[in-house]
Amino acid sequence: MLITLRSALYFIAMSLTIVVFGLAMSTVGRLFPLSVRDRMGAAWGATNLKLMKWICGLDYRIEGAENLPRDAAIVMSKHQSTWETLALKKILKPEQSWVLKRELMWVPIFGWALASVPTIAIDRKAGRKAIKQIVEQGIPLLEQGRVIVIFPEGTRTAPGEHHKYGIGGSILAEKSGYPVVPIAHNTGVFWKRRGLKKHPGTINVVVGKPIETRGKKASEITREVESWIEGQVAKLPQTPFE
């Protein structure tokens, strides 16, 4: 009962942060340089991490923080819950552009905030057209020094499961030559992909060494990323009490 109550309180608090930061980014934020909106997005992520710790007792630890990209790179992360969509805004450098489903852009306030920074919004049913879009929009963003964030599975997966890795991010890596930084975690153990409850504990986040992509085919990059991420996830605690 207490976990449910705390989770509900956090949901209310998170919703308020979306309204406050979303309106700020999409209105007055547009009067300032892009770097200001990037930092506002990072502040939104940091605020939510603090709220989760205070309200739900849910914290995190990072292994391999020295591997976090300081320059342009393609970040490919495991996707198990909503947590990583909040946390990566804080954990990664502020200059981020996300590959996401275009439907999110239609959500009031949240979508407006997404539109205030460079975003690659794709139709996931578009196949090759979506991959072409990722490459055409992603390379200029990388050349601007931004980090491209991609969930290669395309959707949230429950702990112990994994979906086929999409090739869009790997084709971007092949065509651009920028490194891929893989991220593994066990967020789904504490915050289910569909559900309100957020169990107290400490999420484990593992950041891998950058994978060099020059001279590699997209299929090879995908296999390397998938093998590393899934291998690391399998080693992490699979219950909140381990």
Task: Report yes or no on 229 lying in a domain.
Answer: yes
User: How many domains does the structure of the chain reveal?
Assistant: 1
Kindly report, residue by residue over 176-208, the tens digit of the pLDDT: 999 999 999 999 999 988 778 999 999 999 999
H helix intervals, the chain: 2-26, 34-51, 83-91, 110-115, 128-143, 168-176, 218-235
Domain membership of residue 147 (yes or no) is yes
Which range of residues forms the domain containing residue 6? Answer: 2-235
Please answer whether residues 187 and 80 qualify as being in contact, where contact means their C-beta atoms are separated by less than 8 angstroms. yes
Percent of the chain with pLDDT over 70: 99
pTM for the model: 0.95
Whether the CB-CB separation of 163 and 199 falls below 8 Å is answered with: no
pLDDT at 44 over 90: yes
State the pLDDT confidence band at 1, using cuts at 50, 70 and 90: confident
- What are the start-end ranges of the H helices in 52-144? 83-91, 110-115, 128-143
* CA–CA separation, 26 and 24 (whole Å): 6
- Mind listing the pLDDT tens digit for each residue in 55-67? 999 999 999 999 9
Q: Please give the pLDDT value at position 115.
A: 95
Rounded average pLDDT over 151-165: 91
What is the longest distance spanned by two Cα atoms in the chain?
A: 54
pLDDT at 242 over 70: no
Instruction: Say if 231 falls within a structural domain.
Output: yes
What mean pLDDT is reported for the chain? 95
The neighbouring-strand residues paired with 120 are 99
pLDDT of 170 higher than 80: yes
Determine the pLDDT at residue 241.
65
Whether 240 is in a domain gets the answer no
Map residue 154 onto helix, strand or coil: coil
Does residue 128 belong to any structural domain of this protein?
A: yes
Q: Is residue 242 assigned to a domain?
A: no
CATH of the domain at 43: 3.40.1130
- Asked whether residue 241 is domain-assigned, the answer is no
CA separation for the pair 172, 61 (Å, rounded):
29
Burial 109-124 (b: 16+ CB within 10 A, else e): bbbbbbebbbbbbbee
